[in-house]
Amino acid sequence: MAAMSKPYYVTTPIYYVNDKPHIGHAYTSLATDVLARWKRLEGQEVFFLTGTDEHGQKVEKAAQDAGMDPQSFTDRVSQSFRVLAERMGFSNDDFIRTTEPRHKAACQELWRRLADRGEIYLGAYEGWYAVRDEAFYGPDELIERDGVKYAPSGAPVAWVKEPSYFFRLSKWQDWLLRYYEDNRRFIAPESRRNEVISFIKGGLSDLSISRTSFRWGIPVPGDEAHVMYVWLDALTNYITAAGYPDESHPRWKFWPADVHFVGKDIIRFHTIYWPAFLEAAGLAPPKRVFAHGWWTNEGQKISKSLGNVIDPLALIDEYGLDPVRYFLLREVPFGNDGDFSRAALAGRTNGELADALGNLANRTLSLIQRNCEGKLPAPIENPHLMHDTTLHSGISDLREKVGKALEDQQFHSALEHIMFEVRYANSYITQMAPWALKKTDPVLMLQVLRLLHDALRVFGTVLWPFMPTTMDALLDQLGVPKDQRKLADLATPLPGGIPLPPPSPLFRKIELAA
């Protein structure tokens, strides 16, 4: 299958380096990784970007609290996000840091372009500012408790007054609403789309895009008393990595991005500020922004004060990488909030991975070893002549069903489609009892085992983006050559007679302490 014409660009948000990685970071990057891997299986040229957001007052303060200069602090914390990407098996093509020279150059060029087009002016800002969110809030958005004002996020706010450059965001209000209407898929899920539209209809003010009260940021071109607002700086990373401002760069073909994955707390920045900045600069906006929900831990809100932050690396050490990858995208619809529980992780791992998929593979391959001299039975020339074609038609349709679900970022639906067919294959092997057919109908036995092998090949291929290490092991046991593991290769049956290695367990069951 030839590569499709439009290269595919998918991104995580860049993660703020004021603290070490947690389950939320792993979750967003995992979704991005699975989609990138799937698109590669489809034969597309893919660019997958992640990285770290390293400027701003919050980072400057965190560095001071750690007794470090900001660059040394960001060097250390940024490395922990690289380690997370490696340990989680993410297939990112680049890791961007906003302290890199290429990013400074891109931000300053974007600023100059906006200024040249009359989109920026100098004024003064007064307003309620949350250092934790790096954001200003209107009086009607604030919550007051015990005489202290808080942002909707729960961050405390303080009244700030300082000179500032402004971006003419109010000018783009009507354009944004038209853009959302003309591009219905731009914001997902629908609940977030409605939230953003409602916010804009309440009226947009011009946006303060520079600060003078701290120094840890990218200097404003021509006025180095100001540093750029952290969100103008951070959002620009997506075009920096694509080669901006050099639009002849080989990576520029990937822009506009196909999907930005973000947490729901930063949806406004990505769906209001970012497309407005780009359109104002004469650049194409991204095609889609998907905002996922938040995790709780055993029913409790996750917070450092409660001491219940979930460390994804500790989870991997305890339960294995692929079961954790599978669980995070299987347990709740992507876009909804979800609860992490060890009992649920054990239930998915034991019931769906070990008992359903792992047991199916072990039974099928063990029967081939015992009854077919360890060699793959010949392809079924006309499966429609078999007495039961349900399994064959189910696996034939699976690629399309999974692809459609992933195109809409419905990861849980994609996995449910797969597990439905896995469960059916288990009922099929039990019903057909190929271990008994050797004496009564050896021809049918060969057909049954071949069909089950074909089904496992499909399962191993479509599950590979979710669990690459384990599915590579399954495809090895199935005798699938390493250069024949794309989706298009499923159309070509493996020849009969291939010697298959003895099977070995794919998953270990999780035993929880009583």
Q: Which of 61-65, 118-122, 155-159, 229-233 has the highest mean pLDDT?
A: 118-122
Are 240 and 111 spatial neighbours (Cβ–Cβ below 8 Å)?
Answer: no
Helix, coil or strand: residue 2: coil
Query: Distance (Å, rounded) from C-alpha 258 to C-alpha 252?
Result: 13
Instruction: Identify the pLDDT of residue 109.
Output: 98
pLDDT band, residue 5 (cuts 50/70/90): low
Are 89 and 325 spatial neighbours (Cβ–Cβ below 8 Å)?
Answer: yes
Predicted model pTM = 0.93
Q: What percent of the chain has pLDDT over 90?
A: 83
At 33, phi and psi to the nearest 5? -65, -45
Q: What is the pLDDT of residues 101-138, one digit of tens each?
A: 999 999 999 999 999 999 999 999 888 988 888 788 88
Query: Distance (Å, rounded) from C-alpha 31 to C-alpha 292?
Result: 10
Q: How far from the centroid of its chain's Cα atoms is residue 130's Cα? A: 27
- Give the mean pLDDT of 38-63: 95
CATH 1.10.730.10 describes domain 341-491: yes
- Give the mean pLDDT of 395-400: 95
- In this predicted structure, the answer to whether residue 2 has a pLDDT above a threshold of 80 is no
Q: What is the pLDDT of residues 20-36, one digit of tens each?
A: 899 999 999 999 999 99
Return the domain boundaries, the chain.
341-491
CA distances from 487 to 133, 329, 402 (A): 42, 21, 11
Query: Distance (Å, rounded) from C-alpha 23 to C-alpha 292?
Result: 13
Are 297 and 303 spatial neighbours (Cβ–Cβ below 8 Å)?
Answer: no
pLDDT band, residue 1 (cuts 50/70/90): very low
The alpha carbon dihedral of 212, 213, 216, 217 has a sign of: negative
Instruction: Label residues 124-143 b or e (16+ Cβ within 10 Å = b).
Output: ebebbbbbbbbbbbeeebee
Please list, in sequence order, all residues whose beta carbon lies within 8 angstroms of the beta carbon of residue 217, skipping any fewer than 6 positions away.
Answer: 55, 56, 211, 227, 228, 230, 233
Q: To the nearest 10°, the Cα dihedral for 464, 469, 473, 479?
A: 50
Q: Which of 11-15, 123-127, 139-143 has the highest mean pLDDT?
A: 11-15
Query: Distance (Å, rounded) from C-alpha 408 to C-alpha 83?
Result: 29
Instruction: Identify the pLDDT of residue 308.
Output: 80
Are 11 and 275 spatial neighbours (Cβ–Cβ below 8 Å)?
Answer: no
> What mean pLDDT is reported for the chain?
94
Q: How far from the centroid of its chain's Cα atoms is residue 270's Cα? A: 15
Q: What is the pLDDT of residues 184-226, one digit of tens each?
A: 999 999 999 999 999 999 999 999 999 998 899 999 999 999 9
Quote the tokens at residue 294. 């938040």
Instruction: Identify the pLDDT of residue 269.
Output: 97
Q: What is the pLDDT of residues 347-394, one digit of tens each?
A: 999 999 999 999 999 999 999 999 999 999 999 887 665 666 788 899
Query: Distance (Å, rounded) from C-alpha 262 to C-alpha 72?
Result: 27
Q: What is the pLDDT of residues 423-471, one digit of tens each?
A: 999 999 999 999 999 999 999 999 999 999 999 999 999 999 999 999 9
Q: How far from the centroid of its chain's Cα atoms is residue 166's Cα? A: 32
Instruction: Identify the pLDDT of residue 514.
Output: 65
